[in-house]
Amino acid sequence: QVQLQESGPGLVKPSQTLSLTCTVSGGSISSNNYYWSWIRQPAGKGLEWIGRIYTSGSTNYNPSLKSRVTISIDTSKNQFSLKLSSVTAADTAVYYCARAAYGGQNYYYYYMDVWGKGTTVTVSS
Amino acid sequence: SYELTQPPSVSVSPGQTASITCSGDKLGDKYACWYQQKPGQSPVLVIYQDTNRPSGIPERFSGSNSGNTATLTISGTQAMDEADYYCQAWDSSTVVFGGGTKLTVL
């Protein structure tokens, strides 16, 4: 059974770069059947998709965050990572990593079927 | 950018049927999925590709999608179903979430 676990600093100073890693266990991150995503959720608010990466390294990002986001993958460690630069208090949130199934012929489907427990990141000096 | 609209809240009595809607332009031409999130927990996928239930999700959860609206239906709602529910679709190479609906069972 695949499990995902986020890790990284819980406190980041304004203007610095937030860095998180998601470790995948119970399955290979190199599978052709899945993408790997980052999602965040400010306290009391809804879900916001940050971006995704494929085993090949191909990425897609939320346009609203694209200029500050980098997602990378390390297949040797079965991990993928998130970097968010120039953070402000508005980036304070619970950050989740997730596995996503995709495909379809007429219509494209994309849904996240396995989620990590989430990690809280606070941006404060 | 594409938007999905959900009602902020829905109330239902135990044992009754709850319907949560998700509206978006020509949403029926896309696949919708639904997540359940209880306080302090990660989201859980309850419906994917409009109508499919993942393994382990009770049969009382069902979904539909046509026109501009996707609907999550919970039949025989139980107290344990009280949670936030989010719809999600894919558009222009991005994931789009609805704003979420708080389901209250009272």
pLDDT tens, N- to C-terminus, chain A (125 residues): 999 999 999 999 999 999 999 999 999 999 889 999 999 999 999 999 999 999 999 999 999 999 999 999 999 999 999 999 999 999 999 999 999 999 887 788 999 999 999 999 999 99
Choose the mutation target among B55, B95, B96 for the interface with A, i.e. most A CBs under 10 Å. Answer: B95
Are the CB atoms for B77 and B59 separated by under 8 Å? no
Q: What are phi and psi of B82, to 5 degrees?
A: -65, 120
Interchain contact B33–A (C-beta under 8 A): yes
pLDDT for A106 equals 76
Structure tokens at B58: 């009770």
> What are the structure tokens assigned to B75, written together?
């039949």
Contact: A101, B48; criterion CB under 8 Å: yes
Amino acid letter for position B65: N
Q: Check CB contact under 8 Å for B31 and A96.
A: no
A104 vs B31, B97, B100: nearest CB: B31
Cβ atoms B50, B65 nearer than 8 A: yes
Quickly tell me which residue has 């031409």 as its tokens: B29
Give the closest of B30, B88, B100 to A107, CB-based. B30
A65 CB-contact burial (10 Å; exposed 0-12 / middle 13-18 / buried 19+): middle
Nearest-CA distance B105 → chain A (Å): 19
Q: What is the pLDDT of residues B1-42, one digit of tens each?
A: 999 999 999 999 999 999 999 999 999 999 999 999 999 999
